[in-house]
């Protein structure tokens, strides 16, 4: 009995200082580049939440923020790379080979783009896939070992895996050579980028260009 009590005391003496040094819920800190936006597109303080988008003041872009609430922006959903035809281009990629709940025939990147435009996330209707350069600009050393390479205080629910970019018609080599072409993905676990077959299921983080009307008096203080 005495031995068990001594062991318990030793464990407490080890654990309590660790909890004191490393709080369980780190507080979000101001970022020199990013600003939280609410669902209407209005700026928020770094300590407020929930937020729906992130304004990139360096690139003048607005980024989608992932959730864990099983809505269309849930970070767990995956998508094959596909863009439907329009007046300027034929369809490209492979449709309906991802995994999400909001489409009966599975998911592709066009599905997420359509839904996000329809709901006017953060007051915007021109959401798109980011270029690989835009997506790679979000990479940074993780704040904590084992975490994804992004500012997680602003981009929660990001996964250790591949995220699609808009860069398509990329030649494939090695194991994927039989598929001939694909699109570039950026991996937020390794920080690398490489082409993958359109049919692969990968994650997606959408972006929208900052429109002129958003550079109003309510945003000038954070954009300029």
pLDDT per residue as tens digits for the range 153-208? 999 999 999 999 999 999 999 999 999 999 999 999 999 999 999 999 999 999 99
- Nearest residue to 132 via CA among 169, 186, 179: 186
Query: Distance between CA 67 and CA 175 in Å, rounded?
Result: 33
* pLDDT at 187 (0 to 100): 97
Give pLDDT tens digits for 40-67.
999 999 999 899 999 999 999 999 999 9
pLDDT-derived band at 9, boundaries 50, 70, 90? very low
Query: Distance between CA 200 and CA 174 in Å, rounded?
Result: 15
Query: Distance between CA 20 and CA 13 in Å, rounded?
Result: 11
Q: What percent of the chain has pLDDT over 90?
A: 71
Tokens of 73: 């922006």
Query: Distance between CA 172 and CA 183 in Å, rounded?
Result: 9
* pLDDT at 145 (0 to 100): 79
């Amino acid at each position: 009995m005495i031995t068990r009590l001594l062991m318990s005391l030793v464990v407490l003496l080890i654990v309590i200082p660790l909890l004191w040094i490393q709080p369980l819920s780190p507080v979000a800190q101001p970022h020199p580049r990013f600003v939280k936006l609410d669902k209407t597109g209005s700026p928020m303080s770094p300590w407020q939440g929930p937020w729906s988008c992130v304004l990139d003041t360096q690139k003048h872009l607005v980024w989608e923020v992932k959730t864990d609430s099983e809505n269309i922006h849930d970070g767990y959903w995956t998508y094959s790379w596909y863009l439907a035809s329009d007046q300027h281009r034929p369809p490209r990629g492979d449709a309906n080979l991802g995994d999400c709940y909001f489409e009966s025939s599975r998911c592709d990147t066009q599905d997420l783009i359509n839904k996000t435009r329809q709901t006017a996330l953060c007051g915007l209707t021109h959401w798109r896939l980011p270029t690989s350069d835009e997506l790679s600009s979000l990479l940074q050393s993780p704040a904590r070992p084992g975490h994804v390479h992004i500012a997680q205080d602003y981009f929660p629910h990001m996964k250790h895996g591949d995220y699609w970019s808009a860069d398509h018609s990329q030649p494939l080599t090695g194991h994927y050579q039989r598929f001939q072409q694909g699109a570039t993905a950026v991996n937020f676990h390794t920080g690398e980028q490489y082409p993958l077959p359109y049919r692969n299921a990968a994650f997606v983080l959408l972006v929208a260009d900052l429109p002129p009307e958003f550079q109003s008096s309510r945003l000038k203080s954070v954009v300029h």
